[in-house]
Amino acid sequence: MADRVRAQYEAFPYPERDPEDERRRLVTGSPSFPEEIDHFVYAGARDWARPFRALVAGGGTGDGLIQLAQRLTDAGVPYEITYLDLSAAARAVAEARARVRGLKGITFRTGSLMEAPDLGPFDYIDCCGVLHHLPDPEAGTAALAAALAPDGGLGFMVYAPYGRSGVYPLQEAYGALFGHLPPEEKLAAARAVQARLPAGHPFRVNAALSDHRQSDAGFYDLLLHAQDRAYAVPQVLELLSGAGLRLSGFCQPVLYDLGRFTPRPEGMDDAAAWAVAEKLAGTIKTHVGYALASEAAGQARWDRGDPVPVLRGDAARVAAQVAGSGRLPLRLDGLSAELRLPKETARVFAAIDGRRSLSEVGRAAGLDPLALRRLWPRIGPPLTAWGLLHYSSLRRR
C-alpha cells in the first residue's frame, strides 16, 4: 500500500503548485501560521530570539513549509526547518518554491515520517493532511510525539467524516474498478464515470468539496487515494492521547460550539459537546488544531499577563468597518455571524499592530484599564473563536 501512495504522489504531487506563483503571493492557512503556533503551544509568550527548530512531516509540495519559513524570515527569527516527504516529485516542487523566495535554513529529506524521532527534538512539528493516509496512523502519531521537545507542539490536520459525505463510497467503487491501473489511466477512467453520477448522489450535493474541480492532483487525492480514513472528534482525541499528546485546541473553535445549536446539557464535558456539535454541523471536512507535548504551556488567554493581540487580517480595514456601521460580519465554511460592537471599538482595532501588548492597545485607543477590561471580552474571545485573533510575542521584539 505504501508503494501505491508513493506512486500517486510521484505522478500527481499535491497540492498542485507552480513555483513561479511565489513571486506574487504567499499561500497561508492553518496550522503553521507562526503567531497561531505561539498562541496554541506557547501561551502567546515564546522567546522568539531563541532559535526555532521545526519539522514539516509529509510536506507535500510545500504550503506549510513555505508559509512557516517565509513568516519566520520576515520576523527575523533564527530557524532550522526539516522538510520530510516520501515523494521526490513533491519535494522537487517544494524546493523550487523555496528557491524562488530565497529561503534559507531548510533541509530537504525524502523519506518516511517514521524517521522523525531520529531527527528531533523539534520545537514544533507540522503534520497537515498526512496521518489519515498512513498504514498505521497510531504509530505515525507516536513517532511524531517522540520527536517533539518536552515543551513543543504539533500542528495537525486530519480528515473529518461528515463534511466528506459521498467521498468514501466513491473511493471504494473506483478502487474496485480501477485499482489495478497505473495512476494516469486510473484518473481518466474515474473521471469518465464521475461525469455520469446522478444529480442526487451524496457527493454531488456536498457543497463543501471542491478539490476534484481544481486539478488532476486534487481529483486523485480526494477520490482515488489508495489509503484514506476520516476521524470524528472522539477519534481525534483518542489518536492524540494514544501518543501521549493532549489537545490544545482546534484552530476555529466556533465550528465545535454546541451553543450555536442548543444549550449544553448539564454535566456534558467539552469533548462530548464538540462531538455532538460536529454531528449537528455536518459540514466539518477537516479537523485542524494543535496538540501539546508534556511540558508545553498551551493556549494563551487574554486575562493572564499582558499578551500581544494579533489580528489575522487588515486591522485598518476592520477598524473602518466598525467605525462606519458598528458591525463586523464573520464568515467561515458556510457559517456566518455578525458582531455588533460599540463604535469606540474601532479605535481598539486600529491600535492592534502585532507589537503592542493588550494594555498598550488600550492606552493607544484612549481607554483606561477598566474600560478596556469591560470592552475586550466583546472583541477578543469571539474573534479567537473564529480563528481571527491570536496572542503572540513574535513581533514584539
Q: Which pLDDT belongs to residue 322?
A: 87
Q: Specify whether the CB–CB gap between 116 and 125 falls below 8 A.
A: yes
Q: What is the domain-level CATH number for residue 136? A: 3.40.50.150
**Residues 282 and 358 placed together within one structural domain of the fold:** no
151 lies in which domain range? 2-162+228-292
**Residues 60 and 117 placed together within one structural domain of the fold:** yes
Q: Which pLDDT belongs to residue 1?
A: 63
Judge whether 48 lies within some domain. yes
Judge whether 185 lies within some domain. no
**Residues 137 and 266 placed together within one structural domain of the fold:** yes
Judge whether 41 lies within some domain. yes
Q: In the Cβ-directed half-sphere of 106, how many Cα atoms lie within 13 Å?
A: 28
**Residues 281 and 333 placed together within one structural domain of the fold:** no
Domain count within the chain: 2
Judge whether 300 lies within some domain. no
Judge whether 169 lies within some domain. no
**Residues 17 and 90 placed together within one structural domain of the fold:** yes
**Residues 259 and 350 placed together within one structural domain of the fold:** no
Q: What is the DSSP letter of 235?
A: H
Q: Which pLDDT belongs to residue 226?
A: 86
Grid coordinates representing 273 are 459537546
Judge whether 158 lies within some domain. yes
**Residues 146 and 240 placed together within one structural domain of the fold:** yes
Q: Which pLDDT belongs to residue 333?
A: 78
Mean pLDDT of each 10-residue bin along the chain, 397 residues long: 86 96 97 98 97 98 98 98 98 98 98 97 98 97 98 98 96 96 95 96 93 93 94 98 98 97 97 98 96 97 96 88 88 85 91 96 96 94 96 92
Judge whether 91 lies within some domain. yes
**Residues 268 and 335 placed together within one structural domain of the fold:** no
**Residues 265 and 233 placed together within one structural domain of the fold:** yes
**Residues 75 and 141 placed together within one structural domain of the fold:** yes
Grid coordinates representing 4 are 501505491
Judge whether 377 lies within some domain. yes
Q: Which residue intervals of the chain are DSSP H helices?
A: 2-11, 34-41, 63-74, 88-101, 116-119, 137-146, 167-178, 183-194, 211-214, 216-223, 233-242, 270-281, 315-325, 345-351, 358-364, 369-375, 380-385
